[in-house]
Amino acid sequence: MAGALEGITVIDVGQLVQGPQAAALLADMGAEVIKVELPGVGDLSRWIFLSETDRRSAYWEGCNRGKKAVTIDLRTPDGAKIFKRLVGEADVLVSNFKNGTLDDWGLGYDVLRRLNPGLVWAAGSAFGPRGPDADREGADLAGQCAGGLVSTIGADGSAPSPVGVTIADHISSQHLASGILAALVSRARTGEGQKVEVSLLGGQIWAQASEFTHYLMSGEVPGRANLGHPLLRGVYGIFETADGWIGIIGVPPSARDAFFIALDHPELALDPRYQGLLASRDDMRELHVALGPVFRTRTTQAWCEALRAMGVRYAPVHDYAQAAADEGVWANGYLQEVAGANGEPLRVVGTPISMSGTPIRPAAEAPALGAHTDEVLSALGYSAEELAGFRRDGVI
């Protein structure tokens, strides 16, 4: 079955995660994605190696599978000309250079739109396209810090900490993909492309919409997570068990008595502070102190079985190995096994979207630097002699 975006051509000049992951999602959905990189260097993610001795890159593979790789030096006059011809036949351009970079190379929105009025010109940045920091460079951590996320991690009195993944990049990449898809729907009605812009900072604020709205409504900064959530009361948080940690995601009224009896605190079932979601932060600290020792008397698995029987929402705290061993992760395709180029099975991260009519299929591997340069440029009409000349001059 054809993918939802079959027939759509995407040019990806992104770096690292924000732009490339958005383009990878479009590739999973069936688009032809052509990755354009600097000759001899490539996307900087290629250089984030697994180790000193293993020169594979999880960042490169994770965000560039299923793409065609072309090398063009966009800074050169000939490279810019080649790129304009390539974009002239494309539907989408994805980038996440510092604001103004493509304009400096003569490849900004206004220039390319004149060549291709239907082009969706999609760009990600660190701090947004306007304002005093518009031209400032940044990366994932900049979004986490400036957007307030770092200030919420951990407990009162501890040092602030970033999330241990490139979460600002990932969230922004999903916004970029969403904007592109909406722009393609609009183009189907009007025939006109448009500019789509997202940022790490904007993505972090949107991801914390409830918490920011709390601040805007009350003037109160929600504060640190403290093993739970600063705005959510009741039994909501993580607790240490005999061999790990478990998250308790609220206790419904129908399970409240059984829950507190099982934790040897039946009196809490009648405590008015825990009848709803209005307990104070001091109440929550007191509750954690009371329940903590009880949770440490049984294993995570034992608590999972008991809580499931009670009808209490829960989740064990998994590391990556434990999550990858979860049967449901594979059943839903969140991790998948696909055939590699040599026919050997490879385990990859799947796409977290399921579509019944146009299934999403992740590719196995990302391409070698410049692997499809001749193929793609020959299809644009360049001769073998022209390609040889470009290669001799360092253009491709």
pLDDT in tens, 63-112: 999 999 999 999 999 999 999 999 999 999 999 999 999 999 999 999 99
Give the model confidence (pLDDT) of 27-75 as tens digits.
999 999 999 999 999 999 999 999 999 999 999 999 999 999 999 999 9
Give the model confidence (pLDDT) of 331-354 as tens digits.
999 999 998 888 889 999 999 999
278 pLDDT more than 80 = no
Would you say 284 and 228 are in contact if contact means Cβ atoms under 8 Å apart? yes
DSSP single-letter state for residue 73: -
- Tokens 């990189």 correspond to 37
Asked if 169 is an active-site residue, the reply is yes
Q: Which domains does the chain have, with CATH numbers?
A: 9-207+366-392 (3.40.50.10540), 236-317 (3.30.1540.10)
Sheet of 32-37: strands edge to edge? Answer: 68-71, 32-37, 9-12, 92-95, 120-125, 195-199
Per DSSP, what are the bridge partners of residue 238? Answer: 247
pLDDT of 277 reads 65
| DSSP character string of 300-337 | HHHHHHHHHHHT--EEE---HHHHHT-HHHHHTTSEEE
* Joined tokens for residue 25: 């999602």
The residue annotated as part of the active site, out of 54, 104, 169, 243, is 169
